[in-house]
Chains A and B, each alone.
Chain A
């Protein structure tokens, strides 16, 4: 059989203004290339001896990150680019995701932050994914050595492990009056700011309300505000609704990497799956930490939380399972020579 692994690296991740105001990590594209290369090494290592062939199906981004990583293997790897746009925008990621869905990839390794994975899911919402972090806010992707992540992906693609090690994620479907639909994986926030601008969310006194699929006290971003009040993990079948204002608790939260701010929270309540909340403009909606869509005065957006998001592989569980079934154990070729003296 042939197992298909999708590869996508977002050249734009890890480079926005949050490296100035906050102290977010920088990922240059040489590093991204090296990460992809290590993931490929891991996947090839775990698939070796499984009897399955691996094919890499990749998005040929404008910076050639994946392409150049593949070239370093000198043609020993079977790899095919997907038909995707070259606009140097999120549209490239979306179109690549659609193409990978059409090719029925067994798993897709994405390299980016929350914003990158959100864009990917706009193209393939329930994709089987292994997100590796190279972004700013990294609630969704794993902070995980790429070699091991790649190995886990290889175990899935080569058929050694099944989909029971994947957890389907919650997400927020966004319906904006008169406009195209949108999606958030971790959080959707309404701010009074009137422009998308440099996208970063750095002004808590402008925040109005937020819906969180996960409220992670051990993460950075908007999710941390809820997480420090009332944690909600990925498995819980509910989300959290926040309204901001001076009337309630003041949460000292890391709303961006290296950037703690006091945030006033007046309402904090759980929200069951399939429930819908409304946001009304003027303002700007931010998804997964970045301002994305502006709302006109009176324009309404409906936000619905559900478990219809991507299926994400648990890397640790996958490698433990690999140990149990001996995926990396080779039969001995020869008997060791007896010791003579």
Chain B
């Protein structure tokens, strides 16, 4: 803990955030252009949360995700080609085209799925944490969920059981201020979801979810605590989604003001971080831009791979129902 964060870690955090941002912007555009079927819930604006947490995890550590799961998979090491292939519904996708955006997952990376059910993740993450402890590993299960999911009974059951059994679980609340389209003030009588942690017998802390270093530091402490057998933590990250609940459009929405969006965008996690890195002489603006360019080139290749990939054969519909 006494070590200052190395430049390698800083570069890694930066790249992970850029990868998420660029992937999501591209995927959103392709959805609007009708090239991606179904519904995409995009992570733009919330990049610092997934990044700051995932930088502490190995492939043996598990995560459960939300509707808004691309960012989590990318931060966990997901490959663009197989992700785009999945969004395109191709046989080469991470789920062979059977999951799509809302169920994107990869077991080898410990990514136990985006989830189409609000509050679907917490019990599963609790179970994975139980498994980590039962199998005597030092792995941690991280559950991402939103302020909206914190009102689901599943969250309460999972939080209670994780604390009861002292499981290596980190509950990361991505509080973006809205449960789908409903502002937080209209869906719960509290503002800090972290306040609920006390009721389960675990610590709850709040961190600025737009500041990747803040998330990295706080998540590092919580994960170290979990690995040491000290039990779960609720880490609430105050963040914001720039786009609508589904799709891309961010401005001119009926349920929030454009001023609010602009206010949050002033705290943009990537801009803010790049400014700091440049000020400190760690990463110049040019070098940062080079990362964006590399990521965009990788996206182009991945889209080509996805477009060239076959659709699943019709008989695949009956495969993978059972082991």
Q: Which residues of A are in contact with B by a Cβ distance under 8 Å?
A: 11-12, 15-17, 19-21, 26, 28-30, 62-63, 87-88, 192-200, 202-206, 282, 294, 296-297
Contact = CB atoms under 8 A, between A and B. Distances in A.
A28 B205 CA distance: 11
A296 B282 CA distance: 11
Contacts of B211: 196-197
A90 to B, nearest CB: 12
B103 interface: no
B186 interface: no
A28 B195 contact: yes
A205 B2 contact: yes
B281 A19 contact: no
B190 A197 contact: no
Interface of B is mostly: mixed
Nearest to A199: B214
Contact of B280 (A26, A29, A297): A297
A132 B280 CA distance: 38
A8 B218 CA distance: 27
Which of B4, B5, B205, B238 gathers most chain A CB within 10 Å? B205
Contact of B204 (A15, A63, A197, A297): A15
B221 A21 contact: yes
Contacts of B2: 203-206
Interface in B213-250: 213-218, 221-222, 225, 233, 238
Contacts, number: 91
Interface of B: 1-2, 4-5, 190-192, 194-195, 198, 203-207, 211, 213-218, 221-222, 225, 233, 238, 263, 276, 279-282
Given A20-B225, A296-B280, A196 B205 contact: no
Contact of B217 (A17, A192, A204, A294): A17
A157 B310 CA distance: 78
Contacts of A12: 206
A231 B170 CA distance: 41
A87 B238 CA distance: 12
A63 B213 CA distance: 26
A200 B221 CA distance: 11
Contacts of A282: 280
A30 B198 CA distance: 12
A26 B216 contact: no
Given A19-B204, A193-B4, A195-B276, A30 B213 contact: no
Interface of A is mostly: loop
Given A16-B206, A20-B203, A194-B280, A29 B213 contact: no
A200 B205 CA distance: 12
A87 B281 CA distance: 30
Given A205-B2, A297-B280, A297-B281, A198 B214 contact: yes
Contacts of B204: 15, 19, 26
A29 B207 contact: no
Contacts of A202: 1
A63 B160 CA distance: 25
B4 A192 contact: yes
B5 A19 contact: no
Contacts of A203: 1-2, 4
Contacts of A16: 205-207, 218
Given A28-B198, A29-B191, A203-B1, A20 B205 contact: yes
A135 to B, nearest CB: 13
Nearest to A197: B213
B213 A198 contact: yes
A196 B218 contact: no
B36 to A, nearest CB: 35
Contact of A29 (B190, B233, B263): B190
A17 to B, nearest CB: 4
12 contacts: A15-B205, A20-B221, A26-B204, A29-B192, A29-B195, A196-B211, A197-B211, A197-B217, A198-B217, A206-B4, A297-B280, A297-B281
A195 B192 contact: no
A202 B279 CA distance: 24
A296 B279 CA distance: 6
Contacts of A296: 279-281
Given A15-B194, A88-B238, 5 more contacts: A20-B225, A21-B1, A203-B1, A203-B4, A296-B280
Contacts of B195: 15, 28-30
Contacts of A194: 4-5, 276, 280, 282
A282 B282 CA distance: 12
B145 to A, nearest CB: 18
Contacts of B217: 17, 197-198, 200
Contacts of A195: 5, 213, 276
Given A197-B213, A294-B276, A296-B279, A17 B207 contact: yes
Which of B192, B217, B238 gathers most chain A CB within 10 Å? B217
